[in-house]
Amino acid sequence: MAFPQAQPASAASSKQQLIIINKKINKLAFYENGKLIKTYSVATGRTPKLTPEGTFYIRKKVKNRPWYKEGIPGGSPRNPLGKRWMELSKQENGGYPYGIHGNNNESSIGKHVSGGCVRMHNWDIEKLFDKVLVGAKVKITTSSQTFNQLAKPFFKNINVKAPVISKVNTVSDKSTNVSGKTEAKATVTVTIGSKKYSRTADTMGNFNIPVPKQKAGTKISITAKDKAGNVSKAKSVVVLDKTAPALTVKSVSDKVKTVSVKTEAKANVTITIGKWKSKEIQAKSTGYFNVALPNKQKAGTKITIVSRDKAGNKTTKSVTVLDKTAPVVAVDPVSDQSADITVKTEAGVSVTVTIGSKNYTAKAVDSKGTYKVAISQQKAETNIKVTVKDKAGNTTIKTVKVVDKTAPDAPEVTSATSTLVTGTAEAGSTITIYANNKAIATGKTNPVGNFTVEVKSLEAGTVITVTATDKAGNVSKYSEAKTIEPATEEVTN
């Protein structure tokens, strides 16, 4: 049967060309004069037996071969042979029902799906078709060898020696490249997971391939491919941990006995305060955990925290103990006779005295925390507010009342008989009657200051004195002496 546009055999040139089809990887390699020209993706038989293995020849080349089985004309988009057909034969002039051809389903390329023929992308076979001579040898196999190794029996000058990666420099989680040394001008490919990064080594064999930063523990595979297509054995490196662990420390005050720390899981944490050092504590997670201190620390104390990971990377942080303790304040008693206020507290603070709507600023009188401020004399029971604020902003407020230290005026006695003493004194005060320097009776003034105190029968001529004691306990001076008047005789008419 004649094929349209068939090209005759060219035995003189067939020994210079070789096509190798490796069903294991579904790839086709085209060699010419011992040099690998190009590799292509192909589809082969859906079972291992369907695409025969062995050495064959290109028997015939046909453009737009019809699909006789179903009567589909050549060149039709429905034609499963595509637009090019290269027929295989074990002998140059012997027939064989298999071929290398195009397709009508591009998605099938790279898979084991055909009935036995070798399918190619249409754009690939059209280019290969123009290069391949009738009579070229075709080797079909299932192999783990490289194409150069498979081509070696057919060409004396072919290079099957794979390059060696002699050195790969350390790769850390901070690295942005993979570098090392291999064969000059070899193409080096770095594989990380499903991603590949390639660069050509320089004339000295040095390579430096940019890659994204990787996590510690990531496995990286490096291969080198020479110009002949030989691929080195893969060299693997593991990304080293060179990143110091993150370390966060919450503020520490003079009121607590712990340090709250957050760092990398499984990192070991130690805390140092002066000569004291904690035991190593391993972080069980990435959350906060507490490290106990020997006791509460003074404000201003420096605490050093160190986190060290398994790789030996360490992070050091220091915190200063914050002053969260309000100052202790003592206010000396203030009376209605006081001309100043004395406050005792810690040194270096601000002291404000508030009386009504007026503020007074106290000043330090020594280095031990004694402050004084001058004020006008205040009435008894007046509230005085003292506000003390330290440098850290901690505040203590104390309120004191003005103490009554002013004695009442001496009472005035208006009448003194053998049984009653009357007079005036400070309202609400306690009246005490004295005779011969002895208290003989007490009483109270009424709301307007009048008093009447009963006494035991006193002899006429007895001299008495009177004092008034106010609610604050202040005692007046003695009243003027008063003599008991004689009793008046009652006259009856």
DSSP state, residue 108? G
- Co-location of 26 and 142 in the same domain: yes
Q: Which of 270, 294, 320 is the last residue of a domain?
A: 320
- Co-location of 213 and 315 in the same domain: no
- Co-location of 58 and 108 in the same domain: yes
- Kind of pairing, strands 167-168 and 84-89? unpaired
**Pair 341, 373: CB distance under 8 Å:** yes
- Co-location of 176 and 194 in the same domain: yes
| H-run or E-run covering 483 | strand 482-483
Radius of gyration of the chain (CA): 56
- Co-location of 134 and 55 in the same domain: yes
Is 117 a known active-site residue?
yes
Q: Any idea which residue has 């859906």 for tokens?
A: 46
Q: Which of 238, 273, 295 is the last residue of a domain?
A: 238
- Co-location of 95 and 148 in the same domain: yes
Assigned domain for 162 exists = no
Read off the tokens for 333: 């008693």
- Co-location of 386 and 441 in the same domain: no
Q: List strands edge to edge, sheet with 438-444.
A: 438-444, 430-435, 463-469, 482-483
pLDDT at 93: 45
From first to last of the 493 residues of the chain, give the pLDDT tens digit.
334 555 554 444 545 899 999 999 999 999 999 888 999 999 999 999 889 999 999 999 999 999 988 899 998 999 999 999 999 986 444 455 799 999 999 999 999 999 899 999 999 999 999 999 999 999 999 999 889 889 999 998 888 888 999 999 999 999 999 999 999 999 999 999 999 999 999 999 999 999 999 999 999 999 999 887 788 999 999 999 999 999 999 999 999 999 999 999 999 999 999 999 999 999 998 889 999 999 999 999 999 999 999 999 999 999 999 999 999 999 999 999 999 999 999 999 999 999 999 999 999 999 999 999 999 999 999 999 999 999 999 999 999 999 999 999 999 999 999 999 999 999 999 999 999 889 999 999 999 999 999 998 889 999 999 999 999 999 999 999 999 888 665 555 5
Read off the tokens for 188: 């080096």
Is 121 a known active-site residue?
no
Burial of 468 (0-12, 13-18, 19+ CB in 10 A): buried
Rounded CA-CA distance 179/224 in Å is 12
Assigned domain for 74 exists = yes
Rounded CA-CA distance 405/470 in Å is 10
- Co-location of 352 and 420 in the same domain: no
- Residue 374, Cβ neighbours under 10 Å: how many? 12
Q: Considering its fold, how many domains does the chain have in total?
A: 5
Options 36, 86, 109, 117, the catalytic residue: 117
Options 23, 65, 101, 139, the catalytic residue: 101
Buried b (16+ CB within 10 A) or exposed e, 27-61: bbbbbbebebeeebebbbbeeeebbeeeebbbbbb
Q: Is the dihedral of CA 377, 381, 385, 386 positive or negative?
A: positive
- Co-location of 136 and 35 in the same domain: yes
Cα 467 to Cα 132, 417, 424, 453: the distances in Å are 141, 17, 11, 12
Cα 314 to Cα 242, 264, 267, 270, 472: the distances in Å are 10, 11, 9, 11, 70
Which residue in 231, 226, 228, 236 sits closest to 191, CA to CA? 236
Q: Where are the beta strands (DSSP E) in 9-136?
A: 17-22, 27-32, 35-45, 54-63, 84-89, 99-101, 112-114, 118-120
Q: Which of 125, 154, 183 is the last residue of a domain?
A: 154
Cα 52 to Cα 97, 117, 174, 259: the distances in Å are 11, 9, 51, 75
Query: Domain containing 465: what range?
Result: 412-483
